[in-house]
Each structure stands twice: as structure tokens, then as C-alpha cells.
Amino acid sequence: MPQFHVRKVAVLGAGVMGAQIAAHLVNVRVPVLLFDLSTPGPVPQAIAVRAIEGLKKIKPAPLALADAAQHLHAAHYDADLTQLRDCDLVIEAIAERMDWKLALYQRIAPHLAPHAIVASNTSGLSITQLSAALPQELRERFCGIHFFNPPRYMTLVELIPTAETAPALLDALETFVTSTLGKGVVRAKDTPNFIANRVGVAGLLATMLEARKLGLGYDVVDDLSGKKLGRAGSGTFRTADVVGLDTLAHVIRTLQDTLSPEQDPFYASYATPAELATLVQRGQLGQKTGAGFFRKVGRDILRFDPATGDYVAGGQKADAVYARMLQRPAPERLRLLHQAEGAQGRFLWAVLRNSFHYAAVHLEGIADNARDLDLCMRWGFGMEQGPFELWQEAGWSAVAQMVQQDIDAGLALCRAPLPDWVFAGPVADAGGVHTPQGSWSPAARAFVAPRTLPVYARQIVPQRVYGASQGPARVGQTLFENAAIRVWSLPPTGPAAALGDSGDALAQRVLVASIQSKMHTLGPEVLRGLLQALDLAEREYCALVIWSPDAIFSAGADLQVLLGALMQGGVAAVTAAQQQMQDVMQRVRYASVPVVAALRGLVLGGGCELALHCSRRVAHLESYVGLVEVGVGLVPGAGGLTALARRAAERAAASGQKELLAFLQDSFSAAAKASVSTSAPEARSLGYLDADDVVVAHADELLFVAVQQARALAASGYRAPLPARFAVAGRGASATLHGALLNLREGGFISAHDYRVAGLLADVLCGGDLDAGTPVTESYLLALERAAFAELLALPATQDRIMAMLSTGKPLRN
């Protein structure tokens, strides 16, 4: 089929999911028509208008930048359906009522563009039944598309085709959802609740059932079934509150209404828990109503007591012995839990046993292969590992025997035995369902490889399940490595790859540096490694990319090293280390090859300064960027303030204005408050990203795009910037900033130490005691940074802040 371009999307339904799906579309710069019912009065599209305004108030924010709401256009069904002709994709996201959805499809069908894809965002209704309401010519362009809440942050999107869905169309939609929306796509079968909700909600119900059997409270269960178990931090009951108890009840009813004991041996475990029914009946639906299984009163978290029907004090924690047990290697962990005699240990084993049992029995009916099921549970329910991954890591045969023993003893949820393929044949021989060749498909009786759509070639380091081929740390050829950094190479791609070591091929060779220290802090070993990488890149490669395979670019300078240097050699030793860091940053800025920072997750302090000195930045949408040094009583000292002052001067010069303060104000405010962007677009608004820096929606495409940007810069004849003087705002601008700080100090909004730190920050950023417009060198401002840094480091208040951060991980407000 021709290339599928999505120029505009219509979202039908401005409820919670519809509005937030629309928000994520505009996050990635896709304009949206947001439809809902019309209302009487002068603004018939008022429902959609209110939904758009409401997006600006929700936390966590559905919009990466509040200004993106301008690309959402309110519409209503009575007068605006003709606008559907301009939409390449129509996503229906109205309430989970089959009759309502069918009626809407009949209404919109005459207005759809002849090429448009139509998709229903449903959590479990039959896609085949929904398709039946469409004219025959539309059915090949229809499928299910199941986003998870909240759509901006949750990775998983399930695509559910019917027998009539055109394969090429489904490939095109998967490509769009993967690359443009940044999601992990799994194709699900058209079965009740598809894959993730089928397994996840069944698991949640089973967990509630086991908790009731063993008399465990909600808070203890959440403590046990959250991060300690390698699952979402919200645990079980808190997750239900976040999802919405009415939504959960609806998904449970789908299981009850569309399945039967004859179809599903686990059917009895789908009974609605009595306390859930009570809460829904009372309108206590969880987070959205302020009360559910838990209720927050002031700073206290209360839990619902089903015996009294009231809320009582919460906050109970699990026994520490089980937290230690859950930290053991997987084989030992499961063996200990299987043998546990205490209620909490028996609960944990039951939760894991039930997940293994359910996944094995239902795999063939709901998913194409074991990889898809595991990825659904990772991406849709926040698990570190899917059930098959943990089972395989813990020892396939040993765990299978333990699970089957419990089934035979009547301890499991049902008597259905584990499938034969668990104990004999290729899976048993391989020691699990995941192999380098692929993952087990019971229907195919073979290990099947992942799909090979062209979009997946953009994922140089794709996410893999346990037991698949080489892990992300081994991609490429390692050139040198230690505990702090790995420097490795990527070969040329495309036509140049066939040229061997010719000049054209060498011109595409990119060096990659991956920081590996804890939190990717910038200690001495990392700095030495970066210098070594720069030297190598300039000799033998066309560019250097700084990238890491996890959700941390760098949390900044190593405070432990900083404090140790202070204790041993005093402020002078720290100043020498700071000079070294500044020198590395300058080396990055003036390298003869382009240096591209691939940003993701935390980009804080010295990590932000490193990014500011690179030739270009490629940032994942979820990049949290900021100069946060004031939180430990310091000013940025690795060239960050110098970079911001230079950028302000360049922007002012480009605009023809001489008044620099207006161009510094936002940067000063962000650094003085230790503000961290909540997205890459917001990082751009704070001055940490340039207009030509690239934002990428899919984290696994970050390296690919960064490498392409690096190669493009090199191919276009990249030259490092020439050192040049630039104007500073001067003492007058600094005085203005001091005045604003003084008002905050006198109003009690900041402490005396905050005032001193922010005042020095203002002095450096404005260029010290100079007239406005005085041209300075970078060296001049770097010296101001070092002096301010040393002055603050010598203060007991700053040292107390550093100690507090190292011991508690939280800032001290002294």
C-alpha cells in the first residue's frame, strides 16, 4: 500500500481516555479533532472544550507542554462530522457500551476519508462484533487499538485485528504507533480483555482472593506485591484505585459475561470481590473520587475496613524477612517462598504460582507467543519481568514441578493441569519459552521470532525478554570498558556498509560512550573515559554519541567523590577537580567531530551541563532535565552557567536586542529553583534544548536517531564553534535578580542560605561586576563559576546539604 501519513487524527469521545489519547497525539505534534456530544447553548462543543481545558490540570500531566493544547480542536457530532474527511486516523474512545459504539460507527461511516484507518480503543469488547456495524468496504480498515492509562506514560498499545483487517494497513498503524507515538505494540487476539487485561486483571483478582484467604490487610499486600515483587510500585489495591474501581468492575464483568466455566477453568476466580462491589455501590471509585481502598486525609493514608465499612489507620508494612527473601536470586527466591510457612510468604508464593499457572494455561488462546504475553505485562502493568521470564530465570523444570504439585494438592485457583508442552518437547529441552531463535508459540508448536517490520530496524537496542539473544550492553564492538564507562563502535549502515574500509564507509563510523557508574554520575573515571573517547573519535570516527541503555543519562557530579576530596584536600582539591570537569566540557564543545547527547530520563546537574556542551541533543520525550545544584547548596560549576549566559547573548544578538536580562530570566529562575523539566519540550522552554535539537517519542529509537544526527552533522562538513567573546548582562541585571530574591527572603519563601546560593548564581550568570554589554570570554565566566562554587562549598550549610543528600537522597532545606 502507499506510505501511510497521519496528518490529522480524530478522537471520538472526550472522556478520560479519549482526551488523554488526544493529548499524547499533540505531544508528538499530530493535530487532533476531539469529538463529543453537542450541548445546548452558544458553544455546542462545550464538552470537548472542557475536556481540553481539564487536561492542563491533571497530574501526572497528559500534556508534555501546556501550550500543546492549542493543537486540540473541539468538535461535536451534530455539525462537525464532515471534518472527518481530513483525518487519516479515527480513534473511537467512547464508553464501553457495544450498542453506543455500533450506533456511532453507523453515523460516522459516510464521512470518513477513503483511506482512513478506524480503530476502537476498547479494553475488551469484541472487535469482530464492532466491525460488523461498518459498511463492508470499511471493515478492512478497522481494528482495535487499546491504550493503557495514562496514555502518555504507559508503554503498551494492543492492536487487535479482525479476520477482515488488511495486513498492510495493520503494519502501517503499528509503524505509526511505534515510531510516532513511541509505544510498544503487541498484536492481540480478539478474546475477552485481550492479553494484558486478561492476565493482569485475573492476577489482580487472584491476589485479592489470596489476601482474603490469609487475612492480610490492603497496605501489607501492596507493600508485598509492589516493587519488592518486581511490579508496579502502587501494588495491588492502590493500582485498583488509580485505574478506577468502576473501570475495574467493568473489566471484571467482561470476563464474567463473555466467558463460562466450560471455556475457562479459572472462571470461579473472576467473582467480583465483595469489598469492591461495596465501594463501587457507594461511589467511592478510587483516586478520581478521593476514596477507594485507600483514602487520603491530610498527610495520612487510611485504608477501607470491610468489616466496619469505614476507613481506619493504614501504613502497615510487610515483614522485613520477606523483603530480604525477595532480593535473593530467582531460583533461591522461589524455593524459599515455596517452603515458607508464614502468611506473607505463603501469599507471595501463591501470587507467583497463580501467575505461572494462568499464563501457561491461557497462552495459546490469547496470545501468539510467550514473548507477547510477557511484554504486555511489562509494558501494561509495570512488571520488571513477565511471568514466563521469571519462571524461566528461576529454573523452568523445578518451578513447573512446584506449580503442578500445588495444582494436584488443590492449592491452586483451579485443577487445570499445566499444558503438556511445559514438561516435554522443545520448551523443556530449551529450559524455557524464550530462546535466541524466538519465543514459544503453542499454536505453531515452535519458537517464533519477533516481527521484522522496517520500523524495528530503528531500534538498535530493542527490548528483549529473558532468555533471548544478547543483552543491550553487548551491542556493538567494545573498544574499552571499566565499571564507569563503556566505549564502543557502531558499524556503518546502508549502502556504505558494503564498501568495507573505504573512505565512504569510514565516514559513517560512529563511536558511542555509555556511562555505567551508579546513577551515571560523572566521577574521575567517567571524565577520563570521555576524554579517551574524544581522542579516539577524532582519530578514527566521524562522530561521538553519548548514550545509555537505561532511563538515566546522568544524575550529575559524584557527590561522594566531591565530599571525599573536600575532607582530604580541602576546597583547593575540589577546585582542581572542578577545573578538570570544566576542561572536559570544553573539550566536548570544541571537539573536531560532532558530539551528540542522547538524552533520556534523568539529565541533572553535571549531566545537564554535559548535554549543554554537546554539538546537538536528541532527547526522548520523557527527559527530565535541570541544573539542580542549588539543592545541595552549590551553583552549577562545570560550565552550565557559562553555557546559559552565552546562549542568552546569542539569542539577544539574533533578535537585535541589547537588553540581556529578558533572555536570562527563565534560565536563572529554573536554576535558582532547581527546576527540572517534566518533558523534553519543557526542557526546550527552559533553555536546556535548542530549537534544532530533536525530540524522539520512542526510547528505543533514541540511539538510532542520535547516530543519524551525528552522521548528518559529519556529512555536512561539521566544524567546531570558534571561541568568541559574548556580552553579559552585567551588575545592573544582577541587582535586579538580587532584589527579587530579597523579596522572597523577606517573605519567608526561601532561607538565608537559599538567598546566598541564588545570589551567587545570579552574579555568575550576569557576568559579575561588569557593565551591561561587556564582552567576555568563556574562560572569564568559568573562573567565576569556580570561585562561587568554592565559596559555597566551604560553608557548613552547604556541607550539611550534601551530607543530607548522600544519606537520605532528599534535599535539606536549611
Helix, strand or coil, per DSSP, at residue 510: strand
Query: What is the value of pTM for the model shown?
Result: 0.93
Over residues 280-298, the mean pLDDT reads: 93
Q: Which CATH class is domain 472-641+670-721?
A: alpha beta
Comparing CA positions, the residue from 423, 363, 365 lying closest to residue 387 is 363
Task: List pLDDT tens digits, range 513-540.
Answer: 999 999 999 999 999 999 999 999 999 9
Q: What pLDDT is recorded for position 501?
A: 46
Q: Residue for cell digits 544524575?
A: 555
What tens digit of pLDDT does each residue of 347-399 get?
A: 999 999 999 999 999 999 999 999 999 999 999 999 999 999 999 999 999 99
Domain 9-187, CATH class in plain words: alpha beta
- Whether the CB-CB separation of 157 and 147 falls below 8 Å is answered with yes
Residue 617 C-beta-side C-alpha neighbours within 13 Å: 29
Q: If DSSP codes are grouped into helix, strand and coil, which group holds residue 471? A: coil
Could you report the per-residue pLDDT of 778-801, keeping only the tens digit for each?
A: 999 999 999 999 999 989 999 999
Which CATH number is associated with domain 196-446?
Answer: 1.10.1040.50
pLDDT at 472 over 50: no
Q: Supply the pLDDT for residue 759.
A: 94
What is the mean pLDDT of the segment spanning 251-257? Answer: 91
> 720: left (phi > 0), else alpha (psi -120 to 50), else beta?
beta
| CA contacts within 13 A on the Cβ side of 441 | 13
What is the reported pLDDT for 332? 96
Residue extent(s) of CATH 3.90.226.10 domains in the chain: 472-641+670-721
Q: What is the pLDDT of residue 505?
A: 54
Mean pLDDT of the chain: 93
pLDDT at 503: 45
Which residue is associated with the grid cell 461495596? 278
Task: Give pLDDT, residue 2.
Answer: 64
**pLDDT grade for 473, boundaries at 50, 70 and 90:** very low
Is the separation of the CB atoms in 398 and 331 below 8 Å? Answer: yes
pLDDT of 507 > 80? The answer is no
Q: Which of 152-166, 206-220, 486-500, 613-627 has the lowest mean pLDDT?
A: 486-500
Among candidate residues 594, 658, 630, the one with its CA nearest the CA of residue 753: 630
Residues of the chain within CATH 1.10.1040.50 domain(s) are 196-446
State residue 806's pLDDT score.
Answer: 87
The percent of residues above 70 in pLDDT, for the chain, comes to 97
Name the more confident of 499 and 758.
Answer: 758
Are 591 and 616 within 8 A, CB to CB?
A: no
State yes or no: pLDDT of 620 exceeds 80: yes
> For residues 622 and 544, what is the distance between their CA atoms, to the nearest angstrom?
23
Q: Determine contact, residues 490/512, Cβ cutoff 8 Å.
A: yes
Q: What cell was used for 562? A: 566531591
The pair phi, psi for residue 743, each rounded to 5°, is -60, -40
Residue, of 2 and 75, whose pLDDT is higher: 75
In this prediction, residue 315 carries a pLDDT of 87
Write out the DSSP string of 324-356: HHTTS-HHHHHHHHHH--SHHHHHHHHHHHHHH
Residue 3 predicted with pLDDT over 80: no
Name the grid cell of 187: 498484536
SS3 375: helix
**pLDDT at residue number 625:** 97
Q: Which of 648, 640, 580 is nearest to 606 (CA)?
A: 640
